[in-house]
């Protein structure tokens, strides 16, 4: 199934400011709308490359603010683990 990037639907459920980014809601972890749009476009690329399962999953995630926040949290958690691991390795090298 070939999909054009212009066919990607993106439902913005967060208020948008004039820069096109999500407005941060109190105590909420939001993802900028342009990031969500790019995830949808990445989903299109996966679909066009023949991996429709991953492509459709990315498109689904880009339309669900809760999953976008979860994706953001997972990425930040993984980055923190990598950073901590790297620092531990550097400390061991100094011994």
pLDDT at res. 12: 41
Distance (Å, rounded) from C-alpha 13 to C-alpha 28? 13
pLDDT at res. 4: 56
Q: How many CB atoms are closer than 10 A to CB 68?
A: 23
pLDDT at res. 13: 42
pLDDT at res. 1: 54
Two tokens at 8? 């990607």
Distance (Å, rounded) from C-alpha 93 to C-alpha 75? 27
Low-confidence ranges of the chain (pLDDT < 50): 7-28
The closest of 30, 2, 1 to 16, measured between CA atoms, is 30
Are the C-beta atoms of residues 17 and 1 closer than 8 Å to each other?
no
């Amino acid at each position: 199934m070939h999909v054009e990037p212009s066919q990607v639907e993106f439902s913005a459920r967060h208020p948008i400011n004039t820069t096109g980014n999500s407005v941060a809601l109190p105590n909420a972890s939001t993802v900028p709308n342009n990031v969500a749009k790019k995830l949808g476009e990445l989903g299109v690329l996966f679909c066009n490359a023949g991996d429709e399962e991953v492509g459709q999953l990315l498109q689904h995630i880009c339309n669900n603010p809760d999953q976008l926040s979860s994706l953001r949290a997972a990425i930040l958690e993984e980055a923190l683990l990598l950073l901590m691991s790297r620092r531990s390795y550097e400390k061991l090298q100094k011994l």
